[in-house]
Amino acid sequence: MKKTLLTLAVLALAVFTAQAQMGMGGGFGQPRPQINVTFDPYVAAPAGFDAERPGIDRGTIETVEYKSEFVGTVRKATVYLPPKFDPAKKYPVLYLLHGIGGDELEWLKGGVPNVIMDNLYADGKAAEMIIVMPNGRAQVNDRAEGNVYATAPAFAAFENDLLGDLIPFIEGKYNVYTDKMHRAIAGLSMGGGQSLNFGLGHMDVFAFVGGFSSAPNTNTPEVLIPDVAKTKAENKLLWMVCGSEDGLMYNSSRLKAFCDENGIPCTLIEYPGEGHNFVVWKYGLFNFSQLIFK
């Protein structure tokens, strides 16, 4: 396992330091050719799905701190608890990951997951769940500062922190289910690549996997899915979305093509007219969250 993580870290660093640096909303260097795939139907989200709605119950947001034995420090995560949260009731958990320029607050600042989920609950369209938004940069200084692309190895290393420290902490602090059928992982950009890598790499831990505009840290399909029969049997949802104008479509379309060729259920939606931004990622959360834990 350590050798595999080291290899992934080196590959990730090589990829990202070779790319042009740019702010949030941009792509990663020169776009690679899109693989020819059949996209799943795009259905627009309803107007106001991401806007605060008066007169409905609202969930709560809290910050938690946990000891990371892997990193050797105390780390933070943002947690969304659904409306009328009952500590005596068991809940499933969605681990929702950020991009290379973000941290545990990126989704809250740009993606309003609390608003999206509150509205879905008001309409009875999603299963009640806890959403954990961690910092996916597993190093002592985990702030998004300086050359964030140089922190790519810390995103690969987050696999250890997530599995060995964060998940056990969440399962000790909250009354949550501890089986794979009640765990999901999804993320945007760098976090999308992490979600595909970690989710498909640990199907005994996560049954539901989502990648929104997944970045070049995404492993090749052959690495993600070395055993087609096992993936068909154990993965319950593999769902992706990427903007039609996003140069990172290659990463998602490559996996979609592999899945289609091997008869593996897999969704890839092309969001029309959009690039690498929260318009696409909010749409991803809106749809993915309605499909899990049901």
Q: What confidence score (pLDDT) does residue 23 get?
A: 30
Q: What confidence score (pLDDT) does residue 33 get?
A: 72
Q: What confidence score (pLDDT) does residue 34 get?
A: 73
Q: What confidence score (pLDDT) does residue 19 get?
A: 36
Q: What confidence score (pLDDT) does residue 26 get?
A: 37
Q: How far apart are CA 242 and CA 248, in angstroms?
A: 8
Strands (E), the chain: 60-68, 73-81, 93-97, 130-134, 183-188, 208-212, 237-243, 267-271
Is the separation of the CB atoms in 132 and 96 below 8 Å?
yes
Q: Would the pTM count as exceeding 0.95?
A: no
Is the separation of the CB atoms in 95 and 209 below 8 Å?
no
Phi and psi at 281, nearest 5°, equal: -70, -35
User: What residues contact residue 91 under an 8 Å CB cut-off, 6+ apart?
Assistant: 82, 128, 129, 130, 174, 175, 176, 177, 182
Convert the pLDDT of each residue in 168-209 to its tens digit: 999 999 999 999 999 999 999 999 999 999 999 999 999 999
**Measured distance between the N- and C-terminal CA atoms of the chain, rounded to whole angstroms:** 32
Is the separation of the CB atoms in 154 and 146 below 8 Å?
no
The structure tokens listed for 218 are 């995404």
Q: How far apart are CA 171 and CA 82, in angstroms?
A: 16
Convert the pLDDT of each residue in 281-292 to its tens digit: 999 999 999 999
Q: What confidence score (pLDDT) does residue 31 get?
A: 60
Q: Which residues of the chain have pLDDT under 70?
A: 1-32
Is the separation of the CB atoms in 18 and 32 below 8 Å?
no
Is the separation of the CB atoms in 214 and 251 below 8 Å?
yes
DSSP secondary structure letters along 170-216 = HHHHS-B--SGGGEEEEEETHHHHHHHHHHHHTTTT-SEEEEES--T
Parallel/antiparallel/unpaired status of strands 73-81 and 130-134? antiparallel
Q: Which domains does the chain have, with CATH numbers?
A: 2-13+65-291 (3.40.50.1820)
